[in-house]
Amino acid sequence: MANIVGFLFFFGTFGVTFILLQFLQVVQGASPLEAGLMTMPWTLAPPIVSPLAGLLTSRDRHPPGDCGRHGAHEYWAVLERCNPRSQC
């Protein structure tokens, strides 16, 4: 089951990253380098967060609260809102 979930996570992440890069370049008018730099924090998050989540998860299979996940989501929402290229 973990292999299936890992595959789906990788497949979804790769697909969304590809579409996001295309959107940033074609619609927003960013250069390939700018688009890559804009998505770098998002693509570097899983290798950093995954081991930390494993360390924070207790051995009795009761994960800590969803506070970290919600905090990361809010942080990303603030970054998107503060983007000078956003049409808000």
pLDDT tens for the chain, residues 1 to 88? 888 888 888 888 888 888 989 999 999 999 999 999 998 888 788 788 888 877 777 665 555 556 666 677 777 777 776 666 666 5
DSSP state string for 18-38: HHHHHHHHHTS---HHHHHHH
Helices (H) and strands (E) in the chain, counts: 3, 0
Provide the token pair at 22: 């295309």
Provide the token pair at 11: 């497949």
What's the CA gap between 64 and 43, in Å, rounded?
24
Query: What does the DSSP 8-state code read for residue 62?
Result: -
